[in-house]
Amino acid sequence: MAFLDKLKSGLAKTKNAIFGQVDNIVRAFVKVDEDLLDELEELLICSDVGVNATEEIIDELRERIKDGRLKEKEQVTETLREILSEMIGEGESLVLNTRPSVILVIGVNGAGKTTSIGKISNRLIKSGKKVVVAAADTFRAAAIDQLAVWCERSGADIVKQNEGSDPAAVVFDAIAYAKKREADVLIVDTAGRLHNKVNLMNELSKINRVIERELPGASRENLLVLDATTGQNAILQAKEFKNSAEITGLVLNKLDGTAKGGIVISIKKELGIPVKFIGVGEKIDDMQEFDSREFVEALFEE
C-alpha cells in the first residue's frame, strides 16, 4: 500500500468525524454567511485545530468573502483546503550534513519514542545510511530491551549499558562507537520521565554537553515525539520541552487512533515548529516524512 493510501486510511477517523462533514454543512446552507462560518468554526475546534488557528482560518474565509474571492458555497471546501495548506506550510527534511550527524529523541513516556526511533532508523538505513542508536533511556524498566528489539528489526547497531547507568556515559560510548564504525547517523534515546522535570532537563543538558564536546560542529536534530491522541495536551508537553530544549522538529504519532488529526495545524500555529514525521500505524514502515499537501489531500479526498 502506498503511503498516501495509508495516510488516508490513518486519517479516516479525523476525516469522517470532522472534515467529512464540511460538505454536509455547505449543503445545508443557501449561501456563504456568518451562520455557515459559525458551523465551520465549531467543527474545526472539535478536530483539535485549536482556538487560535481556527480563528485565523475563519478570519481568512471571512476576508475572502468580503473581497469577492469566495462567492459561492461550492467554493468553501476547496478554499478551506487552500487555507489549511498555507497554514501548515511545507514539510522540512532532516538536516544530516555531517558524519556522523546526531538525532536526539525526546518526549514523555508512552508517546512512542522507542517505536519512532525504530521507524526512523529503518527509513535512514533503507536510504543507504549506517545508523547507531544510543540507549540512553536507562531509567525506565525494559526501555533498553524494547529499543534493542526495534534496532534488530531496522538493522541499526545499538550501544547500551545496564539499567540505571549514567545516560551521558552511554552517549559517550555511542559516539566513540559511531566514529569507529564511520556511522552516518547517531540516534540518541532519552528518558521520558525522571523524579521531576528539573532532573529530566539536567540529564538532557548533560547529554548535550557530551555531544558538543565529542562531536563539535555535528549536524543536530532534536526531535520531540508527541502522541496525537492526547490532543491539546500534546501541545502543552511541547511547550514545556521547548522551554528547556531547542526543538528542531516534531514526530506526531498515532494519527490513526484519533479523530483529532487537526492537532497538526494547531501545533504549527502555536509552536512554529515543523512536523517532520507522522506515524499512522504500528508497522515499521508506517512512518513517513510529513508532506502538507498529502496530509490535507488525505483529509478532504475520497
Give pTM, 2 decimals.
Answer: 0.88
Q: What is the mean pLDDT of residues 207-221?
A: 96
- Better-scored residue on pLDDT, 3 or 154: 154
Confidence check: pLDDT of 5 > 50: yes
Burial tier of 78 (Cβ tally within 10 Å: 0-12, 13-18, 19+)? exposed
- Please give the average per-residue pLDDT across 27-49, as a whole number: 85
User: φ and ψ at 88, to 5 degrees?
Assistant: -70, -35
The overall average pLDDT reported for the chain is 87
| pLDDT of 195 | 46
Backbone angles phi, psi at 72, to 5 degrees: -105, 145
Retrieve residue 51's grid coordinates. Answer: 482556538
**CA proximity to 88, closest of 294, 300, 236, 257:** 294
**Overall average pLDDT of the 287-298 stretch:** 83
Instruction: Say how far apart CA 53 and CA 40 lie, in whole Å.
Output: 13
pLDDT at residue 91 above 80? no
- Could you tell me whether strands 249-253 and 275-279 are parallel, antiparallel, or unpaired per DSSP bridges? parallel
